[in-house]
Amino acid sequence: MPTSPVDYARNNRSRYLEMLKELLSIPSISTQSVHNADMQRCAEWLTQTMSSIGLKNTAIYPTPGHPVVYGEWLEAGPNAPTALIYGHYDVQPPDPLELWETPPFEPSVRGDNIYARGATDDKGQLFIHLAAVDALFKTTGALPVNIKFIIEGEEESGGKNLDPFIKSHQDLLAADCALISDTSIVSPEQPSIVYALRGLATLEIEVKSAARDLHSGQYGGAIHNPLLALSQIISAMFDENNRITIPGFYDDVLPLGDEERDLLAALPDTLLQETGARNLWGDPAFTPVERISARPTFEVHGIVGGYTDEGVKTVIPAEATAKISMRLVPNQDPQKIAQRFTDYVNALAPDTVTLKIRQTGLGNGAVIDRNDPSMMAASNAYQAAFRRRPIFTREGGSIPVVAAFQRILDLPVVMMGFGLTDDRLHSPNEKFHLPNFYRGIETSIHFMREYAKLKAA
């Protein structure tokens, strides 16, 4: 009897793992220009792999930033539905390097996990679909649906080039649904589908006072220290209930209905165990799970300024900079929020310093129709591979392309993730749980079959 695609995928686990290791070895860090050649190399690895497994018209499309990788197989014909599978081949910087147990770009299997930067976010998850396509081609010579892959290189750096690419390639990307694996599930035993994501606005504040660094004994007391001025502005962003004070910040936040509050209340709260923090923090009017998914936030990612090297240096630094982001819920407009923040900071700024605000990225949040046939196909696919129906979750992170697919291509989007919440995304020792990787491949195979059935019906 010929082997089934799922059996083939099982028999080829070690080969797929070796291929994933190759992909993870390429340091495709989109935000650092020293890695531009690695970005190109990663795009080439993907097109070559896509061609070798049997996808057609594979190509690297240049953009003003990092290239977009494309590949397709449309021979299921005009009566079969088309799924547009999205992934991102760029990764976050790996620092602090000294905290990695094995180097971030030398993938290492320990126990049930593979450790490397990008292991779950997103190389391991995007590779799942390439492996599924390979297993289907190897055993049946075809796919049950038409498939298009779009794999971008600027997701982690808030790139501005993907939206224009999508706008100018609407025919190329036309499909019946978009499928994205770039999120987590509740546990290896309990799959879940993300139905809402937060948006994001990122900005930088630069504060300058004197024309040069000054002796703090000579001038301290009469010159406003830019690090202090910056800290004062940042501390003014929160009130005593840890709510954000930017005027109008919460105006467009939709209240959570009882049904959603119940849905979120049913999710496990493992935040203390996962993070090692002493205590939880935040707005007491909302549960921790609500705060990390259905409420907007304000964060400081880094403050640069002054002397931080060994020993003492008594100086009033000439300047200080902070990198800021605000996570936004779906109904908030990132542009409007960035403007409100800018107006507020300008109003708070003392006349002892000069201040510049730079907007560095905007991304829309999204909410998804839980009743689309693609959702049903994903639910059946998880059921087949995990022997458990998925539940619905809201995700606190951002995947700006989701709103772009909805807005520009008018596509239903299904977020069929395989990560775990303790995978250490963006942190040292990022990992991917291998049982999820292998079950992910099986889930993707089932998805294509289920989608072919449901969409045709």
Nearest distance, CB of residue 431 and ligand BES, angstroms: 14
Question: Which of the listed partners (ligand BES, Zn ion, none) does 450 bind, with a CB threshold of 5 to 8 Å by partner kind?
Answer: none
Piece of 63-71, 97-105, 151-159, 259-267 that binds ligand BES (CB under 6 A): 151-159
Query: Please, is 418 exposed, middle or buried when counting C-beta atoms within 10 Å of its C-beta (0-12, 13-18, 19+)?
Result: buried
Residue-wise over 316-348: b if at least 16 C-beta within 10 A, else e?
bbbbbbbbbbbbbbbebbbeebbebbbebbeee
Stretch that binds ligand BES, among 63-71, 277-285, 334-342, 392-400 (CB under 6 A): 392-400
3-state secondary structure of 71: strand
Told to check if 293 binds ligand BES by CB under 6 A, we report no
Q: From the list ligand BES, Zn ion, none, which binds 125 (C-beta under 5 to 8 Å, kind-based)?
A: none
Total binding residues for ligand BES by CB under 6 A?
17
Give the ranges where 326-428 is alpha helix by DSSP (H): 334-348, 373-386, 401-409
Per DSSP, the three-state class of 262 is helix
Of 18-26, 176-184, 235-243, 287-295, the window that binds ligand BES (rule: CB under 6 A) is 176-184
Report the alpha-carbon angle 183-15-67, nearest 5. Answer: 50
Candidates 158, 296, 317, 334: give the one binding ligand BES (CB under 6 A): 158
Segments in 144-225 forming alpha helices (H): 162-168, 170-173, 216-219
The residues in 198-257 that bind ligand BES, with binding defined as CB under 6 A, are 200
Alpha-carbon Rg for the chain in angstroms:
23
Among 136, 175, 180, 399, binds ligand BES (CB under 6 A): 399
Interface residues toward Zn ion, by CB under 5 A: 121-122, 182
> What is the smallest separation between the CB atom of 156 and Zn ion, expressed in angstroms?
7
Q: CB 423 → ligand BES: shortest distance, Å?
A: 8
Indicate whether 121 belongs to the interface with ligand BES (CB under 6 A).
Answer: yes
What would the two tokens of residue 441 be? 């491949």
The answer to the question of residue 182 lying near ligand BES (CB under 6 A) is yes
Residues 341-380, interacting with ligand BES (CB under 6 A) = 361, 363
Ranked by CB distance to ligand BES, the top (closest) residue is 397
Using the Cα atoms of residue 178, residue 181, residue 183 and residue 188 in order, give the sign of their dihedral.
positive
Quick check: 425 binds ligand BES (CB under 6 A)?
yes
Q: What are phi and psi of 53, to 5 degrees?
A: -85, -10
SS (H, E, C) 81-124: CEEEEEEECCECCCCCHHHCCCCCCCCEEECCEEECCCHHHHHH
Residue 155 as a binder of ligand BES (CB under 6 A): the answer is: yes
Provide the residue type at 314 as one letter.
Answer: T
- Nearest distance from C-beta of residue 224 to ligand BES, angstroms: 32
Q: Which does 400 bind (CB under 5 to 8 A by kind): ligand BES, Zn ion, none?
A: ligand BES
Q: How far apart are CA 227 and CA 245, in angstroms?
A: 21
Scanning 48-56, 207-215, 262-270, 394-402 for contacts with ligand BES by CB under 6 A, the matching segment is 394-402
Smallest gap from Cβ 299 to ligand BES, in A, equals 10
For residue 215, list its beta bridge partners: 315
Is 90 a binding residue for ligand BES by CB under 6 A? The answer is no
Binding site for ligand BES (CB under 6 A): 121-122, 155-156, 158, 182-184, 200, 361, 363, 395, 397-400, 425
